[in-house]
Amino acid sequence: MRILIATTNAGKLREFQQMLGDQFALMDLSAFPQVDEVEETGKTFAENAALKAIGYAKQTSQWTIADDSGLCVDALAGSPGIFSARWAQRHGRDKGDQSNNELLLEQMHNVADEARGAKFVCALALSDPSGKIVLTTDDFVPGRILREPRGKNGFGYDPLFFVPELNRTAAELLPEEKSRVSHRGRALRKMRGLLESL
């Protein structure tokens, strides 16, 4: 089964391939350079995942999985949340992982260690080629925000996100370790089970 993963992020595509396995031929949006970007106007991760799955499925006539995921920090009332990828830009900074991480550290500067709880959340939606949502899943992983980055693996907020059960940051995990515990890995395992039953 051919499935379009609604991303241009190579790291994310690798995670999907590792989790879904070889029975699915995955491609990303780089295979469709003519598509228009789907705006994320939803108020929740689930709404944005569905919007993207529907929008890209209709434009490409492909089965499409879209995810919306992000970091929810307790001390920031759940922010960055759905704005995780654009957090620095929303505050007049440069875009990108480094800017997002620098801003988060600034915002958390005076937050005590015991109040630095956070969770990574992932919502997934599968659309058929006509734009009908067929499957949805979601999951999360709890952790806390460190005061400085650690690790070279992963992307996004991974170097700041400490996973207590493994005593390491998400960026210190090997890809197979991260797939076992990550929010996206957990949601994808659910999705794989549902896909296999389709």
By annotation, the residues acting in catalysis are: 68
57-60: list long-range contacts, CB under 8 Å, 24+ apart: 57/4, 57/127, 57/128, 57/129, 57/130, 57/131, 58/127, 58/129, 58/130, 58/131, 59/32, 59/35, 60/4, 60/32, 60/35, 60/129
Question: What does residue 43 show for φ and ψ, rounded to 5 degrees?
Answer: -100, -5
Which pair of tokens denotes residue 125? 């939606």
Whole-angstrom CA distances from 148 to 75, 82, 179, 197 are 17, 23, 23, 43
- Cis omega before residue 159 (within 30°)? no
